[in-house]
Every structure is written in structure tokens, then in C-alpha cells.
Homo-oligomer: A and B are copies of this chain.
């Protein structure tokens, strides 16, 4: 990995000074509004006299040219019409700025002569000058710690451990916002559009060396230099998990990537094979990106695939089992010791405990529930413990038995902290959609991994087990794997 990229992009990802060029009323001054949280100094550049009062009313100093700003500029966001882009790029080069995000769209992705010609021109200019150009046709950098945002609804002040590299602005912003609801906070993210100068490989190389970033997610429509990308990917994955969501997996999807970021068609089969060979994690949707990232952050690592399952009713005990088994996980019988213990207190009328557990008629108190969770936590045949928290649970929450919920959360947090096994909960909203949202927030607060259905929980667990197995360097596999 090259130190050059790190040095070069550190200034862009952690700017102290930012200039926004061409923001306007029609866009509700979105870029300047995003900048209101910025910890450094932000300037506006705008020549339209009709726009300047609005800009100044927001509290920003406006200049007629980038070159007039009386200090060095680390990062520039450009939102001018496409015809004006070359002029602004020239100013950026002259000003020796750290880097530029070209929000401006209308280039090669339009498939028009004008667009293609303009894109070539700015690309040539930036490459010749060694300018770090992000985009065009993108949202650029989100660094919550310093309040540098892509959208006014993004958080700031405190970041997290997850880096995100996305060829789509929607996916980049949504991942940050949806992720936050699930306890996933961003260290740094970048939406990079047409990738004419800097490409996914450069951002991956940067985040691989970024100390704040422990997990890296990527949404990619196409790479410019596949050989360099996969060589780097192979180096990064043993140190930091990399999740890859490839846009354009079908012929029709590739027509869409061409119109979106002018990306060229690439074989989905080869991508899948290379992701696997490099020990990265393939995901196929934003939800799956959220789920697997959550599992990486909040589940203790394991290479064992034997799960202990607790469902709140009989019908759910069947479905949770089918779903985890179909995901390639094993639902083994428990040890004799566990069965003896269950036999000493468990009411089998309307319930059962073979694994899965159906605890319908045994859900009386937090102590009783934790006794069952603890048996699975101790059982030698079990590598991960999965607890459904739906039907009866949400009904109780709806009745606002706050004390019960607090006690249960305390007990589950305690179990999660002391158990060496991954512990995950499944909170299916069912008809209790609002109660489920509120309860999920409480679980997230406690750092308890929570999935909205069995399939998403099973898939996330399966994917992180695969990751840990691939990179298991000790040569020692767990019980579950030995028996396979």
C-alpha cells in the first residue's frame, strides 16, 4: 500500500478549509447548509449577484473567485453548470487546493457528445496537474467528526468505525442514515460518481490506512483498473473486513450503470469469484450491507456454525429453524447436561426445548428467560445464541411495562458482555411496527445486535462466520467446523 495516497487524501478527507462554488437558492443552498456543521472555515464562491444576499444571510463569506479567498483551501465542492466546470477546475489547480468534489453532472453518463467531451477535458486537466478530483456526478466526502456532510440530515460531532466508498450518492447517504439507526456510525465516506481521476481503489487504499476505520463497505458500479483493485483488496481483507456491493450484476443493470456513472459492463461471475478469492464479503443490497456490518461490529467472532435458537412460539420455532438451516447453519441437539437442566424446570405443555426452543408457555419472567439463554451460552454443542424477541415481547412493550424492558435489557447486555459466543436477537415487527422501532432503538443503545427477520439475521451470521473462517490463521477451527 502506498503512503502517497494516504498523504494526498488526508488533506481532502480532513480539511480545515472548504470552499463551495456555485451554490444557489434553487437548490435551497444545500451545500452551504450542509457546511453549517463544519468545524473548520467554509467559504462561498458565487458570481451571481442575485444569489449573494441569500448566501451571506446563511453567514458565509462570499468571493467572486476561488483565487480571491485569502487562505489555502483544502477541499472544494463544485456545483456549477457543467460548461463552467473546466474554468473552476483551472482555478482549483492554480489555487493548489487539496482536492475537489465535482457535484456537477451531465458528463459521459449522458451518452452525449458534449458530455463526453467535457468529461475528457476536466479529466485531462486534473490528471496533468495531479489534482485530486472526486467525481464528477457525486456527493463527495462525509466526515462526521469534523462536521463535513453530504446532506443536512446526516449526523456530526462523533463518528464511528465504518468507512464507506460508494459510486452512488443515494447509497452513501442512505447507508449513513439507515446505519445510524442500527448502531453503525461512519468514520469517513465518499460518494465518487464517474471516477475519472480517483477511483474506488484509491479510496480503499486510503481507508485501509485510516486508523479510525475498522470495517470498509463499498458500492461499486465499475473499476478502472481491476488488477490493481483486486491485488489491493487481497491485502486489505485480512486486516479489515471489506464488504462489496456490486451494482450492475445483470445485463439490464449494466445499462443502468452506464447511464448513472458511465461505468462499463463487467462480468458479475468474475466479480463474485474475485470477491470470494480475496476474502472480501459480497453483499447485494443496502439492507445486507447494514446487516453484515452490524454483525461484524456487534457479534463476538466465531468460526463455528452451530446455533442455539430460542423462539417465542411454536410456529416461529419452525420458521427460525428452517431459515437458519437454509442459510447453511447447523441447529444441533444440545448436550445431555443441558437437557437435564431444562427437564428440571421447563413446562413442556405448549413448549419444547430440543433446539430450537419454543418458550411459549415458559415466558414468565426475565430470570426464567435468562436461565434458558444461559444454558445455551454454556452448551458445548452451540457456537452462537439467537433469541427471538417478537410476539409476546412486543405485546408487553406495548403495554408499557417499562420496568420489565429495562430489566430484560440489563440482563441481555450482561449476557452479551460476558458470553464468548455471538449473541443476536431477532425483533420481527409483525403488527407492532411502531413498538418494534422504539424497542430496536433500545437494543441498539445497548450494543445488542438486532435483526428485523430470521433470514436477515441468519444471513449476516453466515457471512461473518465465512469471513472469520477464511481469515482464520491459527489453523485451529472450532468444534462446529471440525465436525463438518
Write the residues of chain A forming the contact surface with B, with a CB cutoff of 8 angstroms: 82, 105-106, 109-110, 112, 137, 153, 166-171, 174, 177-178, 180-181, 219, 221, 247-253, 255-257, 259-261, 284-287, 313-319, 321-326, 330-331, 348-350, 352, 354, 356, 358, 361, 391, 430-431, 433-434, 437, 453-455
Given the known inter-chain contacts A313-B170, A431-B174, please indicate yes or no for A256 contacting B391, CB distance below 8 A: no
Given the known inter-chain contacts A177-B431, A354-B259, A391-B170, please indicate yes or no for A252 contacting B321, CB distance below 8 A: yes
Given the known inter-chain contacts A315-B171, A315-B247, please indicate yes or no for A430 contacting B178, CB distance below 8 A: yes
Interface class of chain A by DSSP: helix
Asked if A317 contacts B260 (CB within 8 A), the reply is: yes
In the complex, which residue of chain B has the Cβ closest to the Cβ of A263? Answer: B318
**Which of B331, B349, B430 makes the CB contact (< 8 A) with A174?**
B430
Which B residues are in CB contact (< 8 Å) with A455?
A: 285
Given the known inter-chain contacts A321-B255, A354-B255, please indicate yes or no for A170 contacting B316, CB distance below 8 A: yes
For the A-B complex with A169-B314, A247-B318 known, give 20 more contacts whose Cβ atoms are closer than 8 Å.
Answer: A105-B350, A109-B314, A168-B313, A168-B315, A169-B315, A170-B315, A171-B319, A174-B430, A248-B322, A250-B321, A252-B325, A252-B331, A253-B325, A256-B318, A260-B317, A260-B358, A261-B314, A285-B323, A285-B455, A286-B430
A166 to B181, CA, bound (A): 34
A177 to B252, CA, bound (A): 37
Asked if B110 contacts A317 (CB within 8 A), the reply is: no
Asked if A168 contacts B325 (CB within 8 A), the reply is: no
A169 to B169, CA, bound (A): 44
A251 to B329, CA, bound (A): 12
Asked if B348 contacts A260 (CB within 8 A), the reply is: no
23 A-B pairs in the complex with CB atoms less than 8 angstroms apart: A105-B350, A106-B349, A109-B352, A110-B352, A166-B315, A168-B315, A170-B316, A171-B319, A174-B431, A177-B430, A178-B430, A181-B431, A249-B322, A251-B325, A252-B330, A253-B322, A255-B354, A256-B358, A260-B314, A261-B314, A284-B322, A285-B454, A287-B453
Asked if B110 contacts A348 (CB within 8 A), the reply is: yes
A192 to chain B, nearest CB (A): 12
Given the known inter-chain contacts A168-B313, A350-B106, please indicate yes or no for A322 contacting B250, CB distance below 8 A: yes
A166 to B318, CA, bound (A): 13
In the complex, which residue of chain B has the Cβ closest to the Cβ of A248? Answer: B318
Given the known inter-chain contacts A255-B321, A315-B169, A391-B170, please indicate yes or no for A453 contacting B178, CB distance below 8 A: no
